[in-house]
Chains A and B, each alone.
Chain A
Amino acid sequence: MPTDYTFPVKKWATNDVISKEDLNRNLMPAVDRYNGGMGPHNIKSRAAAVAESKSIDDVAQYAFMRPHFVVKDVDPGVAQSTPPTTAGSGPDASSKIEDTYEWQLVDDMQLNITLAGRAFFKIYAWCQVFRDGWASGPYTLSSEYQLALRVDGRILEDQFTGFQEESENNFMPLRPHEPKSKSPPIPPKRIAVRKAHACAFGAKPTLLTYTLMLEPGSHTIELCARRVFLDPRRIRTATFTSGNIDVYVYSRKLIALEHSYEAAAGSGDANLTVSPFESEQPLSKADLGTAKLEAIAGKHNSASAGLEEGSIHRGGLNHNHLPSPLLDWGFASWNTAADETIRAEYQAYNSNTTTTNQTGGNGWFKLNDGTAGSGDFKVEPNGGGDFQTSAAATDLSFILVIGTVQVRNVRPHTALSVDPAYFGALGLGYKLSGGSDAIIDNSIGFVNYQNIHQTAGAARTEVNSEACVSLLSWVDLRTAPQMLANDIDYFQIYGAAIDARGTTANDTRLTHRRGSLLVLQFGYQS
């Protein structure tokens, strides 16, 4: 890193001869400083810094964050009295997880990134999984799949969705009680139970996230999946043949947020042209003053052309000089005191219909903590007002939205059943100022009735399946044509329920409790 502080090398005494060599040694470091030698020590801290009168609007696009993403939006076709379709088709088709133990790419979920300098990445991947066979069964209750992020061919092992080893097994936690009363004593013994080392839900969205540093060069970030069967003896037997419990990934998305750590880009000009004295050059007021000393001072004193982009050296600004990368943000969480249940009926994948009737309505219901309105699972800007999303001159941005909901159960409302084709639907959306609620289709997650207690008969009891659902979406407003018609009042988590086989209205309960919603609006230079 260049030396930010500079001092004259030569201090002349009264009778010293002023040589041009000494003048050059005193002049040129000062010139060099304006031509790419400015660093953090030259600039005052935040109290009167570059950032003082600068906002995120004065930051070049991608100086702080560059998003890389891919998204596939697949309608599973599920609705009231309509089970999910087997698999989509066309460009946004669902992606089958083949019946092998091999990690395989989830179709299209690949990002190829080339870095000129080191960069820190925050990665999110989200996908909606459905097993097959909803139309006619079997009512298999374990889908047995694992998901993982893969970077440059290597699985990130501490975040894939299961146990690492196929051999890892669970056991029943028991120990002999009062063994001395028996003869002979029986030693403690582990009793194996069925394997549970892969995701089980027949329908559920999953969110993966990771942070890592990547070096300069080309990189590949992927979302992968594999089938891991619970009982090896049953592999590829009739129970597992294709068409029965094949597992598909429907809507899916992968986003890598690149935060450059050592950008290797060229800055703009730094045009302080002051040449050193030539050996035979006469020394005059014009040569020393106008052409050199006063030129340097003039550069410094120019309000319109002073410090230029090329004046600051690489890594020359630290947090004291920088504005926040965020144009706005919002976060809210709900520690709901008791379970909340909704039976509002899901309409269709592309429906923005909302309802305020929690138990008998048709459409999306705004999840809340028991108090509709003030307790809605929604987020407004931290600073109040609206999220600025409509003015191209000042609002170019990229908005990341992540929600979590504790879904305690999804089940039939009127009578418990062995049929798992009851679904809860959760989605992210927003409301434009002066407009209506809009649900982001590709954010919609479905979670099924994971009826783990299958006994038939009147004595069947409700057992919560305790799903934990996360939702991910983003709103890309990086260019003027992408701007919205108005600002966004708030982001919201919506919910609805589906009886995919029955015809009784509002016959599915979605029971939820806690939740959180995060909105990050990264700003960009217009």
Chain B
Amino acid sequence: MTTVAVPHIASLSAGGTIVPASLNQDFFDTTSPNGIHSEPNGGMNSDNVSTSFEIQAEHVLEGEAVGGKTSGGVRKVDYMSDLFGEEGTNPTTATHVVVHKCAVRKYVPYNVSLLIWDVTFFRSIFRFKKITEGEVVTEHGVTTRVSVDGTAIPHTLRHHPNTAWPDTYPPSASPPGNNIESSFESYTADFLHVQHVQNNVSAGWHECTLELFMESTNDATSGSTQHLVKSMIDVEQADNAYSNAGVEVDLHNRITFGSRNASIWYIL
């Protein structure tokens, strides 16, 4: 416990003379613990606190125990494979892009016990199953993950479903393509939430982003894309000019994000 002393007045005897220059040290002095103004100028500690003292809400400077921020987007945004997708199937090593307006960045003004990140987003997806004569060749991956301060967080990786098939799938069905629609994405549209927590985090800028990986669908080794595409167009729009004209088209995967946001919540 720090103490305050008033040596001049304390030592004054009854009838004694107050010495002006000496009285100064009872108010302020560079020699601890003298002076009623000296020690409290930064010298208080927990032992000076009364035994019944409780920290009250009004004592807490704003944002000094808990704080946070949410940032998000409203308008839908489309991402196509083959605009940035990489060859390969490993979503943990491939190039990712940041999903537009699904990120948050905030300066955390002091070291904190916990940083809690929440990312929520609505997604619908057109992702086809690639078929060659009844055999599933591959499924081109579409995954999302969260990165915090530039580091991918593996447990936040999420896969997104296949939603499209050619009308001739399965080829063995009779009649082929019975009851199959071109895209089932309206059946899988969903709102997702993932979270991550960091502990003992230093003060400074911190950020969280939702990232997207879409494997390229431009598979040069297959050669079956055109068959798939024409089939799907036939279903979607039977009199479509593409199929009638015999035009070959490339088909890609697409993921669309609706309302989305990212939040940071820090706790001292």
Chain A to chain B contacts (Cβ below 8 Å), 6 pairs: A26-B27, A160-B259, A168-B76, A172-B254, A196-B256, A307-B53
Min CB gap B84→A, angstroms: 13
Return chain B residues, CB-CB under 8 Å to A53.
46-47
CB < 8 Å neighbour of A301 from B3, B74, B186, B265: B3
Binds B, one of A8-16, A104-112, A214-222, A485-493: A8-16
List the one stretch of A62-70, A81-89, A244-252, A502-510 in contact with chain B.
A62-70
A391 within 8 A of B: no
Q: A64-B66, A300-B4 are in contact. List 10 more A-B contacts (CB 8 A).
A: A51-B46, A52-B45, A159-B260, A163-B122, A174-B251, A191-B236, A201-B190, A263-B56, A285-B14, A319-B268
A331 touches B62 (CB 8 A): no
**A210 pairs with B263, CB closer than 8 A:** yes
Judge whether B261 and A197 touch: CB under 8 Å.
Answer: no
Contact between chains at A193 and B36 (CB < 8 Å): no
Taking CB atoms and an 8 Å cut-off, the chain B residues in 234-261 that contact chain A are 236-237, 240-242, 245-254, 256, 258-261
Report the count of interface residues on A (CB-CB < 8 A). 159
Complex alpha-carbon distance, A308 and B183, angstroms: 69
Distance (whole angstroms) from the CB of B97 to the closest CB of chain A: 16
Among A29, A48, A200, A518, find the residue whose CB has the most chain B CB atoms closer than 10 A: A200
**Residue in contact with B65 in the complex, picked from A147, A177, A322, A515, CB distance below 8 Å:** A322
Of A346-354, A424-432, A455-463, A475-483, which stretch is located at the interface?
Answer: A455-463
B122 touches A191 (CB 8 A): no
Decide: A164 near B27, CB < 8 A? Known: A5-B41, A466-B188.
no
CB-based nearest A residue for B177: A455
Which residues of B54-100 are within 8 A (CB) of A? 54-76, 78, 80-81
Query: Which residues of chain B in 1-39 are interfacial with respect to chain A, using CB atoms and an 8 Å cutoff?
Result: 1-6, 9-10, 12-14, 16, 18-21, 23-24, 26-28, 36-37, 39
**CA–CA, A50 and B43, complex, Å:** 11
Q: Is the CB of B161 within 8 A of A157?
A: no
Which residues of chain A are within 8 angstroms of B48 by Cβ–Cβ distance? 300, 306-307
Taking CB atoms, residues of chain B closer than 8 Å to A51 are 46
B: residues with CB less than 8 A from A are 1-6, 9-10, 12-14, 16, 18-21, 23-24, 26-28, 36-37, 39-76, 78, 80-81, 101, 109-110, 113-114, 116, 118, 120, 122, 124, 126, 129, 134, 136, 153-163, 165, 170, 172-173, 178-197, 199, 226, 229, 232-233, 236-237, 240-242, 245-254, 256, 258-261, 263-265, 267-268
Q: Which of these, A200, A289, A309, A322, contacts B190 with CB under 8 Å? A: A200
Contact of A289 among B10, B69, B195 (CB under 8 A): B10
- Taking a contact as CB atoms under 8 Å apart, the answer to whether A306 and B188 are in contact is no
A301–B1 touching, CB < 8 Å: yes
- A30, B36: Cβ atoms under 8 Å? yes
Q: Given A14-B20, A318-B61, A331-B197, check contact A122 B50 (CB 8 Å).
A: no
Whether, in the assembled complex, A21 has its beta carbon less than 8 Å from a beta carbon of chain B, the answer is no
Assembly CA distance A170 to B75 (angstroms):
13
- Name which residue of chain B comes closest to A194, CB basis: B186
Q: Are A230 and B116 in contact (CB under 8 A)?
A: no
- Report yes or no: B179 in contact with A308, Cβ–Cβ below 8 A: no
Instruction: State whether A304 touches B59 (Cβ < 8 A).
Output: no
State how many angstroms separate the Cβ of B255 from the closest Cβ of chain A: 10
Q: A264 at the A/B interface (Cβ < 8 Å)?
A: yes
For the complex, what is the distance from the CA of A33 to the CA of B9, rounded to whole Å? 21
3 closest A-B pairs by CB: A158-B72, A12-B20, A459-B170
Note all chain B residues with C-beta closer than 8 A to A265: 56-58
**8 A Cβ contacts from A4-51 to B:** 4-8, 11-18, 26-27, 29-30, 33, 38, 40-44, 48-51
Assuming A296-B36, A452-B163, is B236 touching A457 (CB within 8 A)? no
